[in-house]
Structure formats: structure tokens, C-alpha cells
Amino acid sequence: MADSKYRAAGVDIDAAADALEQVKPAIRATHTSSVLADVGSFGGLFALDGLDKDSVLVASMDGVGTKVKLAADMGRWRGIGFDIVNHCVNDILVQNARPLFFMDYVASSALDPQQVAEVILGVAEACRSCGCALLGGETAEMPGVYVEGAFDVVGAIVGSVERGAMLPKKDAMQSGDVLFGLPSSGPHTNGYSLIRRVISGKDLRQTIEGGVTLGDALLAPHRSYTQQIDALQRAGVSLLGLSHITGGGLVDNIPRVLPDGLRAVVTPGSWRRPEVFRLLVEWASMTDAEAYRVFNMGIGMVLIVPAGAEAQVAAVLPDAVRIGVLAPRTVNGASVTFE
């Protein structure tokens, strides 16, 4: 059927269909035995009979911010797929949930099937690597809404956790418990509006510490921490809390898992601040106080464990760094202090 009028208005139904056709095998490869319907049904079907009756669903929805703009400017799309999945996976991991299924939404003023396919392939690969079914998704052409050449990616994740295993365990936390940090791969998905401003005019091909280019360092995909937390739990380490360091940084995210009477005392010198953050802070002429609220500053996930578990964490996770301790908090006192 001719749909020339609709195409003239900026919407190409067939382009979206082309993109879907290319990525179907990768999507199907994520389908666990719980997935009932094939790609293209109205809604994705996920059977519950593999779950414990006592399970709780944990759901989250998010985008990856203006990292999409940098990716579009650099013509590199697949990493954004990893970004959106791993960001969402980490967001439910802090409640000790593991992913069941994921859905994605990719929109632009005009869809380039090849670019959409790259994003969705990244999504599918990231889903597969953590046993998460890519259950559905949508692409949208929105002339007049998106800036030409720009796109947005949104993800929704649903995972599950047994009710008794939910984190954080605020009641069990006490002064002297230890904070470990797991390294981030870069700014992950936060601070990119500022990053894009401060790198304006800089050479993205310049090599920084570790021999990577500035562009590569900035587009490094958001890291997933599922495997490391799995390893800790297999080793029998009692986790009290996890905090995913996203927008708001260590300052805003650690307090989300703390009880009222405790604060986190973080020692900024305890971990190596990656070069990319040193450069960004310098170029932006930011104070450290600002930087620790905008960027993760090299720590992507914070673990809270009893002091007695310290040696075991270090043994199971060689790259975990002891970054601080819990201490008593006075009424109206700060819930995170840097000392």
C-alpha cells in the first residue's frame, strides 16, 4: 500500500520494520524458557511459573541522558544499548533483584534503520549476558520533537527478588560497617550535559591515561555489577546494602540505603580517581563538592558489609576498594561526609 502522504510527513513505517527484521535473531537469543510469545506480538508474554510464590517484582525505567547525544555525534550506537540495559540492571540490583525481562524504546526525528539496529543489538547483547529476556520494544519517528540527528533511548526492566532477601537491610546496619566501592568504567550515564559542554573544542582522539582516547573513555559502556554481587553471595558474604552511583553521585545515592542514625564517612583518597574525571573536573573548573554530586568519580557501585566480612570481600572481589565506614549521625547532620 502506498503511504506516501505519511512518509512525506516524516514517518517511514517500513524503515522501522526493516530495523526490526535485522535484529530479530539477536532478540530471540535472549528469550529464556519463560518467554511465551515471539517478537512482534502486541505485548510480550512472560510466564511466572519459574518464580517462587514469595517473589517480589522489582521494576525500573530510565534513559541514559545526553550520552546519547555524544554517541550520535561520534556515530557510535551499540554501546548505548549496553548503557541502558546495564544502568537498569544495576538499579534493581541494589534491591538484590535479578533481571527477568527488559523493554526498550528508541526515538528520533527520523529513524536510520542501521543506527536503530546497532542500538538494539547492543541492548540484546547486554540482556543476553545477564540472562534477561528482551521482551519488547518500540521505535518511534518524531519529526519536530527531536533535534535532527539526535535520538533518545529509554529502557524498562522487571526483575525479581525473594522477599526475605531484599536489600537494603537498614535495621542490620551499624557503626563500623564497611563501605566498598566497585570501579566504574567511566562516567557511565551521568553528567553528560556538562561533559558535552566542557569537551567542546577538545580533540576526542587525544590519548589519555591507559592509552585510550578521550572519546573512548567518555563512551565506555555502563558497567553491570551483577556477576560480582553474585560471586559475593555465592561466597556467603552478608551484604547489608548496595548503592548504584548515578545522578547525584556518592553524595545523594549512598544515603538512600542508610538508616536515619548512620552516616557514611567516605575517604576520597582511598581510590584512584580515573584520569577522565581529573580532566573533566579541571576543564569544568568545578569544586570537588560539585564533582562528587555530578559524577561517580570512579566508583559505580557501593557495597555495605559488616566489618567482619572485609577480608572475604577483598578475596572474592580483587578490584573492590575499601572507601569508608558507617559512623553515627547526629540529628540534621550530613549523611555522607568526606574525611
Please identify which residue in 29, 36, 231, 235 interacts with a copy of itself, judged by CB under 8 A.
36
Q: Which is nearer to a copy of itself, 68 or 173 (CB)?
A: 68
Please pick, from the candidates 75, 236, 289, 318, the single residue that binds a copy of itself as defined by CB under 8 A: 289
Which lies closer to a copy of itself via its Cβ, residue 63 or residue 183?
63
Does residue 158 belong to the site contacting a copy of itself (CB under 8 A)? yes
Nearer to a copy of itself, 104 or 216 (CB): 104
CB of 267 to a copy of itself, least distance (A): 19
Work out how close the CB of 58 gets to a copy of itself at its nearest, in angstroms, rounded to a whole number. 4
User: In this structure, what C-alpha cell is assigned to residue 14?
Assistant: 517500513
What single DSSP character describes residue 43? Answer: S
Residue 212 or residue 283: which is nearer to a copy of itself going by CB?
A: 283
CA dihedral 120, 121, 122, 126 (to 10 degrees): 100
Residue 244, classed as helix, strand or coil, is strand
By C-beta, is 196 or 273 nearer to a copy of itself? 196
Smallest separation, CB 286 to a copy of itself (Å)? 5
What residues from 202 to 241 belong to the interface with a copy of itself (CB under 8 A)? none
Residues 73 to 112 in contact with a copy of itself, rule: CB under 8 A: 91-92, 94-95, 97, 101, 103-105, 107
Burial class (CB in 10 A: 0-12, 13-18, 19+), 40: exposed
Nearest to 299 by CA among 217, 130, 179: 179
21 lies in the binding site for a copy of itself (CB under 8 A):
no
Examine residue 193 and tell whether it contacts a copy of itself (CB under 8 A). Answer: yes
Residues 297 and 273 sit within 8 Å (Cβ to Cβ): yes
Tell whether residue 250 is a contact of a copy of itself (CB under 8 A): no
Strand 133-141 and strand 98-108: the pairing is: parallel
Residue 138 near a copy of itself by CB under 8 A: yes
Cell of 158: 522487571
User: Dihedral of CA 287/91/120/125: which sign?
Assistant: positive
Please work out, in degrees rounded to the nearest 5, the angle formed at the alpha carbon of residue 243 by the alpha carbons of 270 and 261.
85
- Helix (H), strand (E) at residue 86: helix 78-93
Kindly tell me which residue out of 21, 29, 166, 282 binds a copy of itself, with binding defined by CB under 8 A. 166
- Report the amino acid identity of residue 45: L
Phi and psi torsions of 177, nearest 5°: -60, 155
Distance of closest approach, residue 244 Cβ to a copy of itself, in angstroms: 7
Q: Which is nearer to a copy of itself, 55 or 267 (CB)?
A: 55
